[in-house]
Structure 1
């Protein structure tokens, strides 16, 4: 694709692509989207970048201008893919997966991420995993052993301890709370 590629912050799911696509089409902009977090504005003469930025911001997206901000967004997308997008059946460590995907050393990624976000990549991964655990518990299709396996936990005990540390409640307490909310 010939054009200029821009990184887009908060573009994290297929629905985001749909929203951005319909907005850019309404503006008459020729574009391409090869992957989450990235759009290419195709060469077509003058483009009203202010209008594009305004449309993106209307939906809580924004063009990333800063190099460190781009790294943070790439790490977030890699973590989201790691936690939400694939089974953890291979033996690749999270840090190796992220470094390989972004093409930088994990050490430098970690420094930039921690400085910008105020949380380590490891903590961000844990928070995403606990969010996914909650989602899977709400669906009720999987038991805790299956959830632990799916998310790459070494044991149900490890998942349970992490869940309690993050949420302040046990998995059973959380499930009871969810049941009460659904029944009321």
Structure 2
């Protein structure tokens, strides 16, 4: 049975969101940072519904509520702060979070294995921005290149799959869009300092939360 990625303890900490209105659609959209797994979606929905809000949709990176309801922003902010969340006002941070969500989504849903374009083109199309704008904003905010962030996320996913021990290494390589097993192995060793097989034998002890890779 396929396992969902476990919710990192830090995934719900230091989470930021911004409230935006779509008056023509009678909706209010909450842009949410650090939603990295299905359980995050569940937790966000529960928090909003606990405040009596009619939640129309929640997905990684955002939640949509009924715009006809009066929104008590102070109450929402208080509830979010109790979980370590903060209101987000910086548009660049909102863009960077959208980039992270897109990267995590394409890797953890394994869509990366079936892309018909390269990943940079996919991200540009997904976010509606040219790749130069995306990568520049990401580097300025996070201190590492977007390409490096993608590599770190892929290696972390490899670690997870090795820990589950359900797939052969060549199947892992295919699942994550590596051109070859050698490509996966060399990238894994460059990031972790060890080989895939040694890591697997050690029981996968060196894991990082996917919302805090840099």
Q: Assess same fold via TM > 0.5.
A: yes
Q: Considering fraction of residues, name the structure with more helix.
A: 1
- Is 1:25 aligned to residue 78 of structure 2? no
CA RMSD after TM alignment: 2.0
- Take 1:159 and 1:59, find their aligned partners in 2: how far apart are those partners? 37
Aligned to 1:37: 61
1:119-150 deviation line (CA, Å, top 9, x unaligned): 11111110010010000001111111110111
Give the CA deviation at 1:179: 7.6
- Take 2:205 and 2:107, find their aligned partners in 1: how far apart are those partners? 28
CA contact (8 A) 2:30 2:64 kept: yes
Give the CA deviation at 1:34: 4.8
What secondary structure sits across from 2:94 in the alignment? helix
Q: TM-score, normalised by structure 2?
A: 0.78
Aligned to 1:172: 197
- Is 1:71 aligned to residue 110 of structure 2? no
- Is 1:5 aligned to residue 29 of structure 2? yes
Give the CA deviation at 1:52: 0.9
1:92-144 deviation line (CA, Å, top 9, x unaligned): 11101100000000000000000001111111110010010000001111111
Q: TM-score, normalised by structure 1?
A: 0.90
User: Between Structure 1 and Structure 2, whose CA radius of gyration is higher?
Assistant: 1
Give the CA deviation at 1:48: 1.7
Aligned to 1:81: 105
Q: Which runs of 5+ in 1 are unaligned?
A: none
Aligned to 2:122: 97
CA contact (8 A) 1:3 1:42 kept: yes
Q: Which runs of 5+ in 2 are unaligned?
A: 1-24, 207-214
Greater alpha carbon shift after TM alignment, 60-69 vs 117-126 = 60-69
